[in-house]
Amino acid sequence: MGAAQVRISDGFWDSYIELVRETVIPYQWEALNDRIADAEPSYAIRNFRIAAGLEEGEYGGMVFQDSDVAKWLEAVGYSLANHPDADLEQTADEVIDLIALAQQEDGYLNTYFTVKAPGERWTNLYEAHELYCAGHMIEAAVAYYAATGKRKLLDVMCRFADYIERVFGREPGKLRGYDGHQEIELALVKLHKATGEERYLELAKYFVDERGAEPNFFAEECRQSVGLSIWTKQKLPVPSAGQLAYLQAHRPVREQDTAVGHSVRAVYMYAAMADLAGLTGDASLLAACRRLWANTTKKQMYITGGIGSTHHGEAFTFDYDLPNDTIYAETCASIGLIFFAQRMLQLEAKSDYADVLERALYNNVIGSMSQDGKHYFYVNPLEVWPKASQINPGRHHVKAVRQKWFGCSCCPPNVARLLSSLNDYIYTASAADNMIHTHLFIGSEASFALAAGKVAFIQQSNLPWEGRVSIEITEAPNEAFTLALRIPSWSRGKAALTINGSRTEYKVENGYAVICRVWTAGDVVVWEPELTAQLTAAHPEIRANAGKAAIERGPLVYCLEEVDNGNRIPSLSILTGTELQSTYDTGLLGGAVTITVEGRADNRNSWQSDTPYRPIENNEQPTSVTLRAVPYYLWGNRQPGEMTVWIRTAAVGV
C-alpha cells in the first residue's frame, strides 16, 4: 500500500466531522466523566482513577467500560490528525498519563480486574472482555501516535501486548486461549504496522488461528471455572455449540462460511481475518473472508447496511431472515462491517466492497446519530410503530427516539472514531502498481506516494445530492499512473467520464473505471455516475419485504415518516411506474433532497371502530396521495412517529 495523506473538505461530511469534533468528542468526554444530567453514569474515567490509586471507590459500569475511554481517545487521535487542537490534546495527554498510572508492573492494564476482581485475570475470557479492552486501547495508542507522534500510550500498550504475548500461546506453560469478544486481533495488526514488530502480527495470527480449534478453549475454561458468571452470578455452564457460535468459536475460522452469532464480534473478526489474509497471503483465510463477506452482505444485510436480525444476543439469525420491525441492526455492527469492507478493499479493490461500505455509512451509521450529536440509536429499525415500541415487549429494544449516552455505550464512541477517521476510507493506493482507487465520493485533498512518484489531487463531490465528482490533479509524476473511479451500484453502470472537458470512454475493472495515463497538474477529471431516485425490490426470499419497494437515491435509502405522511404508515402504498420527484429542501434539517411520489392510502372513512374485520368489497377505493420520503439517516429528528423504509407497492391504474 502506498502512504496516503487525505484531508476531507466536503459539503456533506464536513458538518459531521465538525459535529464529532465540536460536540460529540466534548460531550462524550463529559459522559465518560459522569457529568451528563439524566444519563446513566459511565464511571469509565473514575475507574481509571481508582485503578491508578488517585481515588477511592468501587468499580462502576460494564466489565468492558475501559473500552469507552479507548474509543474516545482513538477518536481524539483521528480528530487531532485532521484538526490540531491544543486543549483537546492536553486533555488526552492527561488521560494517557492516567492510563499509564493504572498500568500494573507487569504491563497488565484493565481497571475491572485491577479494581474489582484482582487475582482473576484471564480466568474468564469467555465473558470478561479483557483482550477486547486491550485491543481498543491499542487502536487508540496507534491513532494517537500517528496524530501527535507522542509515544507514551503506544509504549504503554506495547508493554501490555508484550505481556499478553508472554501469557498466551501454544508453548508449554502458556494459556492456549483467546478472547470472548474479538477485537485484539485487528488491533495487533495495527500495532504491528505502527511499530514494525513482527511478533504483534504473529500474536494476532495466533488468536485468529486458535479460535474454534478443538478441544474448544471456552468449553474447557468453563468446565474448569471456579468463579461465577459475570452476568448471571451463577456457575458458568459449559457452552453449547450455539453458545460457541455466538462468539464465532464453534469451529475454526477457516471453516466458517455463514455469519452467525453476535454480529459485532463477527465483523470485527472478519476484519482481522482480512488483514491477516492480506499481510500473510494466506489463501484459505482469503477464501473464508470472501465466503463470509458474501453471506453477510448478500443474505443477511438490511438495505441500510444494518446487520443483526435479532436483539436476542444482538445476533445474526439465518439467510434472508430480515424482519424490519423486530430488527437489531446495531450501529456498532455496521461500523464493524465498514472495517471489514475497508480491509477487503485493501486486499482486492472490487466495487462491491465499497458499495456496501457506502451503504452502511450513509444510512445505518449516520442515521444512528441525532443531528445534535448527543443522541444515538443503538438499534436501527426499518419500520417503527412507536406505540408498539413502548407497549409490546417484543419491540421494547426498538426505540422511536434516539437516547442519550447508554449504560452500555459502545455505539456513540464507535461513531465518533469512524467519522473522525473517515479520510482513511475514501481511497486505497497501490504504490507498486501506480494505482489509486477512489471508493467514496467525498470531497478531499489527497496525496499518495507511488512508485512513479508523488501524486496529489483535489476531489470535489456533490454527493449524496448530485452525481457529480471532479478530481483535479495538483501534483503528478512524469510517469503514468492509474486512477480508478468506482462505478457505484446505484448508477446501474451508467457513469460519464470527462477528462479536461472531453467526454472519454473508459475501461472497467472490478467495478471501477480505470484510466491510466500520464497526468499533469491541472488535469481535471469529471466523474458523473447517474444519480436518480429509484425503487428497489428485495430478493423474494426476504419474506419481510414481499410486495414492497424501497426508495433509494444514490447512496441514500429513503423512508416515509409520520410527520410527513400522517400516521398509519402501513396503510400507504407507492405507485410503481410513476415518477419519483426529487427536490432539494433547504429547510429540512440542514438541507436534503426529499422525494415525492404518487401513492395510495387505504380508505378508512367507512370503517367503524367496532368492526375489526369485514368483507373486502366493503372497502372503498384507496385515496390518491402524494408520498413524501426523506433520507433514512434523517429519520426521527423532527417528531416521534411511525416510519418505514419498505413500502407496499401498487401498480398504476389500481
The answer to whether 369 contacts its own copies (rule: CB under 8 A) is no
- In whole angstroms, how close is the CB of 609 to its own copies at the nearest point? 7
CA distances to 110, 144, 189, 583 from 253, rounded to whole Å, are 27, 31, 17, 48
Grid cell, residue 493, equals 453502470
Residue 513 vs 575, nearer CB to its own copies: 575
In total, the chain counts a number of residues equal to 654
Site for its own copies (CB under 8 A): which residue of 142, 535, 630, 634?
535
Q: How many CB atoms lie within 10 A of CB 264?
A: 26
Considering only the stretches 107-115, 185-193, 564-572, 623-631, report the one whose residues sit in contact with its own copies under the rule CB under 8 A: 564-572
The answer to whether 538 contacts its own copies (rule: CB under 8 A) is yes
The answer to whether 584 contacts its own copies (rule: CB under 8 A) is no
The answer to whether 614 contacts its own copies (rule: CB under 8 A) is yes
Considering only the stretches 78-86, 333-341, 391-399, 433-441, report the one whose residues sit in contact with its own copies under the rule CB under 8 A: 391-399
The answer to whether 393 contacts its own copies (rule: CB under 8 A) is yes
Strands 453-461 and 502-504 come out as unpaired
- In whole angstroms, how close is the CB of 128 to its own copies at the nearest point? 24
| Backbone phi, psi, residue 532, to 5° | -130, 155
Residue 414 vs 644, nearer CB to its own copies: 644
- In whole angstroms, how close is the CB of 348 to its own copies at the nearest point? 16
CB of 444 within 8 A of CB of 8? Answer: yes
Q: How far apart are CA 191 and CA 43, in angstroms?
A: 27
The answer to whether 494 contacts its own copies (rule: CB under 8 A) is no
The answer to whether 540 contacts its own copies (rule: CB under 8 A) is yes
CB environment 130-159: b (16+ within 10 A), e (fewer): bbbbbbbbbbbbbbbbbbbebebbbebbbb
- In whole angstroms, how close is the CB of 176 to its own copies at the nearest point? 31
The answer to whether 400 contacts its own copies (rule: CB under 8 A) is no
CB of 645 within 8 A of CB of 383? Answer: yes
The answer to whether 498 contacts its own copies (rule: CB under 8 A) is no
The answer to whether 166 contacts its own copies (rule: CB under 8 A) is no
The answer to whether 240 contacts its own copies (rule: CB under 8 A) is no
Residue 540 vs 587, nearer CB to its own copies: 540
The answer to whether 649 contacts its own copies (rule: CB under 8 A) is yes
Contact partners, residue 212, CB within 8 Å, separation at least 6: 244, 248, 249, 250, 251, 252, 253, 255, 256
Query: Of 643, 494, 476, 499, which Cα lies nearest the Cα of 561?
Result: 643
Q: How far apart are CA 281 and CA 300, in angstroms?
A: 28
The answer to whether 294 contacts its own copies (rule: CB under 8 A) is yes
Q: Which residues are catalytic?
A: 314, 410
Asked if the peptide bond before residue 381 counts as cis, ω within 30 degrees of 0, the response is no
Which DSSP symbol is given to 197?
-
Residue 49 vs 350, nearer CB to its own copies: 350
Q: How far apart are CA 463 and CA 18, in angstroms?
A: 18
The answer to whether 172 contacts its own copies (rule: CB under 8 A) is no
Grid cell, residue 21, equals 469534533
Site for its own copies (CB under 8 A): which residue of 543, 584, 589, 591?
543
Determine the size of the site formed for its own copies (CB under 8 A).
Answer: 66
The answer to whether 241 contacts its own copies (rule: CB under 8 A) is no
CB of 493 within 8 A of CB of 487? Answer: yes
Query: Of 180, 205, 179, 178, which Cα lies nearest the Cα of 191?
Result: 205
- In whole angstroms, how close is the CB of 99 to its own copies at the nearest point? 38
- In whole angstroms, how close is the CB of 466 to its own copies at the nearest point? 20
The answer to whether 615 contacts its own copies (rule: CB under 8 A) is yes
Chain residues 320-359 in contact with its own copies, contact rule CB under 8 A: 321, 323, 325-326
- In whole angstroms, how close is the CB of 612 to its own copies at the nearest point? 5
CA distances to 251, 467, 585 from 11, rounded to whole Å, are 46, 13, 15
**601 CA to centre of own chain:** 36
- In whole angstroms, how close is the CB of 209 to its own copies at the nearest point? 28
- In whole angstroms, how close is the CB of 350 to its own copies at the nearest point? 12
CA distances to 305, 353, 486, 499, 576 from 337, rounded to whole Å, are 8, 10, 19, 34, 32
Local structure of 447: helix, strand or coil:
strand
CB of 136 within 8 A of CB of 184? Answer: no
Grid cell, residue 373, equals 450529536
Grid cell, residue 28, equals 462524550
Contact partners, residue 292, CB within 8 Å, separation at least 6: 256, 257, 258, 259, 266, 270, 273
The answer to whether 501 contacts its own copies (rule: CB under 8 A) is no
Chain residues 296-325 in contact with its own copies, contact rule CB under 8 A: 297-299, 301, 303, 309-313, 317-318, 321, 323, 325
Residue 9 vs 596, nearer CB to its own copies: 596
The answer to whether 507 contacts its own copies (rule: CB under 8 A) is no
The answer to whether 546 contacts its own copies (rule: CB under 8 A) is yes
Residue 455 vs 647, nearer CB to its own copies: 647
Sign of CA dihedral 32, 35, 37, 38: positive
The answer to whether 493 contacts its own copies (rule: CB under 8 A) is no
Q: How far apart are CA 147 and CA 151, in angstroms?
A: 11
- In whole angstroms, how close is the CB of 420 to its own copies at the nearest point? 30
The answer to whether 541 contacts its own copies (rule: CB under 8 A) is yes
Residue 387 vs 503, nearer CB to its own copies: 387
Q: Which residues bind its own copies (CB under 8 A)?
A: 294, 297-299, 301, 303, 309-313, 317-318, 321, 323, 325-326, 385, 387-388, 391-394, 492, 534-544, 546-547, 549-550, 568-571, 573, 576, 602-604, 607, 609-619, 648-649, 651, 653-654
